[in-house]
Amino acid sequence: MSLTVDVRASVGDPLSPSGAFHLDARFEVAGGLTVVAGPSGAGKTRLLRLLAGLDRPSDGRIALDGEPFCDLASGVHLPAHERRIGMVFQQPFLLPHRSIRSNVALAVRTGTRADRRDEAMELLEQVGGVDLAHRRPGQLSGGQQQRVALARALAGHPRLLLLDEPFSALDVPVRDRLRRIVRDLVSTAGLPTLFVTHDPDELLVLADRVLLAEHGRFMTVTDPDGAIAAMRAPGPQDRPAR
């Protein structure tokens, strides 16, 4: 499993001196868990959005095991719903009008209604949320909701898992438990995973390798301590991530 990224993107940014934020990502990562670390505004969320197909790069190529889902030179740009990528955002964004089981089942892409429900229950079991199945998102704590969001991200049998600071809003004990769940899922499924975080502890616990983001550029780092030092240094663009 390897993810090859070679993309450029520019977005209007009133806070930047040049009026635009430029992202230039060139890297290749193998399977396992890659932590994407770096100061706020370095382009981590932007990168994940490009990978998921939620934003369109201005040029470049993204491929998983040589199979491109974005290759603008040859006119390939798969929409988000065709990429088979699992993504967990900073907020869970579960549908409030549906049960937890239904939220997960919506993301299961094949099978009959009953199959999808069964699969949703299996996924909920994997994240330790089976007892939540018949509740509504509004009745769950933040940690429980992110657990469900994780189950939902896995429902489409993704080829790549993207996690954008999924646990940053949670209490420390909840965070620890969820990190362990992610760690186990990634190692059992062998799913290539990009995990964005601000948190040095999270980096140390989770990272197989680190992708360090700075001013819209990314480099792979093998030494976690170096990465942590870089994370702690406030960048000139330091501000809340969007």
Partner 1 sequence: MDLFPLLLSLRVAALATLITTVIGVSGAYVLARLDFPGRGLLEAVASLPIVLPPTVLGYYLLVVLGRTSPIGRAWEAVTGGPLVFTWQAAVIAAAVASLPYTLRAATAAIAAVDTAYEEAARVCGLHGARLAITVTLPLAARGIVAGISLAFARALGDFGTTIMVAGNIPGRTQTMPIAVYDRVQAFDYATAGLLAAVLAAVAIIVLLGVRWLERSTT
CB atoms within 10 A of CB 83: 21
Contact between 217 and partner 1 per CB under 8 A: no
136 binds partner 1 (CB under 8 A): no
In the complex, least distance from residue 55 CB atom to partner 1, rounded to whole angstroms: 10
Per CB under 8 A, does 46 bind partner 1? no
Q: Are strands 217-221 and 209-214 parallel, antiparallel or unpaired?
A: antiparallel
Beta-strand ranges (E) seen in the chain are 2-12, 20-30, 33-37, 59-64, 67-71, 76-77, 85-88, 160-164, 193-197, 209-214, 217-221
Q: Which stretch binds partner 1 (CB under 8 A): 32-40, 84-92, 111-119, 180-188?
A: 84-92
How many residues are given for the chain? Answer: 242
Q: How many separate helices (H) and strands (E) can be counted in the chain?
A: 7, 11
**Which position among 84, 135, 209, 217 is part of the footprint of partner 1 (CB under 8 A)?**
84
Round to whole Å and give the CA distance between 37 and 92. 21
CB of 163 to partner 1, least distance (A): 12
| 97 contacts partner 1 (rule: CB under 8 A) | yes
Binder of partner 1 out of 53, 60, 129, 166 (CB under 8 A): 53
> Nearest approach, Cβ of 95 to partner 1 (angstroms)?
6
Q: Is 85 in the site for partner 1 (CB under 8 A)?
A: yes
Question: Segment near partner 1 (CB under 8 A), from 1-9, 52-60, 121-129, 223-231?
Answer: 52-60
Q: At what angle do helices 172-189 and 142-154 cross, to 10 degrees?
A: 10
Smallest gap, in angstroms, from Cβ of residue 135 to partner 1?
Answer: 17
Q: Which of 1, 76, 95, 229 binds partner 1 (CB under 8 A)?
A: 95
Only one of the segments 69-77, 101-109, 137-145, 198-206 lies at the binding site for partner 1 (rule: CB under 8 A); that segment is: 101-109
Instruction: Give the integer Cα–Cα distance in Å for 210 and 212.
Output: 6
Longest dimension (CA), the chain: 54
Smallest distance from the beta carbon of 109 to partner 1, in angstroms?
A: 5
Separation of alpha carbons 91 and 164, rounded Å: 9
Residue of 29, 37, 100, 107 interacting with partner 1 (CB under 8 A): 107
Q: Of the listed pieces 25-33, 58-66, 86-94, 167-175, which binds partner 1 according to CB under 8 A?
A: 86-94
Who contacts 67 (Cβ-Cβ below 8 Å, separation ≥6)? none
Of 70, 87, 227, 231, the residue at the interface with partner 1 (CB under 8 A) is: 87
Q: Strand 209-214 to strand 33-37: parallel, antiparallel, or no bridges (unpaired)? A: parallel
Give me the residues that bind partner 1 (CB under 8 A), please: 52-54, 79-87, 89, 91, 93, 95-97, 106-107, 109, 149, 152-153, 155-156
